[in-house]
Amino acid sequence: MSHKSARYLPLVVTVGQVVIFPYYIIWLKQVSLTFTLFAWFFASFSFAAAWGYRIYQTKKNKDHSYLFIIYATMGSVYILIGYIKNSYEYLPYVVLPLQVILGLLQGYFRAWHSEQDTYHLHAVHHYLIVGFMMIGFSFIKIISPVVFITIFGFLLLVCGFWEFTRRGKLSVSKKV
């Protein structure tokens, strides 16, 4: 693994998050049953993202961002979602904390990413990649959104592991 390849991890994560979003929405709508609950779940995600964003922004030692933990935890949450059996009675009570965790991690990750000098380049690339990927996915028949969510979860775990093994050696340059 080269130093350069590690620079693409945030791009992989960003693209993955956008691509998985429609599938995640389908799953979330299924478990919410009502639009009200669906909207509440989204609101909790959003508030938690704001919190995560500020946690990173106010962090004093930004050299230790623990990104591998962020990736691994995100991956674990997506994998957990893939393994949840649909039992509507209690699912909303489980989904709510998961939404908060995902929001918090995403906000933290976004704040970190926005301070990297590759951020703007990644932004352009991710739009293009997502566009092509979604065209590709449009030809795939969805059996269940959780299959994609689980695969993305494992991908994030790999990213986390990769980040873990590279940390220390890796030194992504910051914006001035």
The answer to whether 98 contacts another protein (rule: CB under 8 A) is no
The answer to whether 164 contacts another protein (rule: CB under 8 A) is no
What is residue 170's three-state secondary structure? strand
Residue of 43, 123, 128, 142 that binds another protein (CB under 8 A): 43
Residue of 2, 61, 86, 138 that binds another protein (CB under 8 A): 86
Residue of 1, 25, 55, 123 that binds another protein (CB under 8 A): 55
The answer to whether 121 contacts another protein (rule: CB under 8 A) is no
CB of 1 to another protein, least distance (A): 33
Supply the DSSP symbol for 143. Answer: S
CB of 55 to another protein, least distance (A): 5
CA distances from 78 to 7, 27, 111, 155 (A): 23, 11, 21, 10
Residue of 8, 47, 119, 164 that binds another protein (CB under 8 A): 47
CA distances from 154 to 10, 75, 79, 80, 147 (A): 15, 6, 7, 10, 11
The answer to whether 50 contacts another protein (rule: CB under 8 A) is yes
Supply the DSSP symbol for 174. Answer: B
**Which of these ranges, 19-27, 34-42, 66-74, 123-131, lies near another protein under the rule CB under 8 A?**
34-42
Tokens of 80: 């957990």
Angle between helical axes of 9-32 and 145-166 (0-180°, round to 10): 150
Place of tokens 């991690």: 105
Those residues whose C-beta lies under 8 Å from the C-beta of residue 49, and which sit 6 or more positions away, are: 103, 104, 106, 107, 110
**Which of these ranges, 70-78, 96-104, 119-127, 130-138, lies near another protein under the rule CB under 8 A?**
96-104
The answer to whether 62 contacts another protein (rule: CB under 8 A) is no
Beta-bridge mates of residue 174: 116
User: What is the binding site for another protein (CB under 8 A)?
Assistant: 33-34, 36-37, 40-41, 43-44, 47-48, 50-51, 54-55, 58, 86-89, 92-93, 96-97, 100, 104
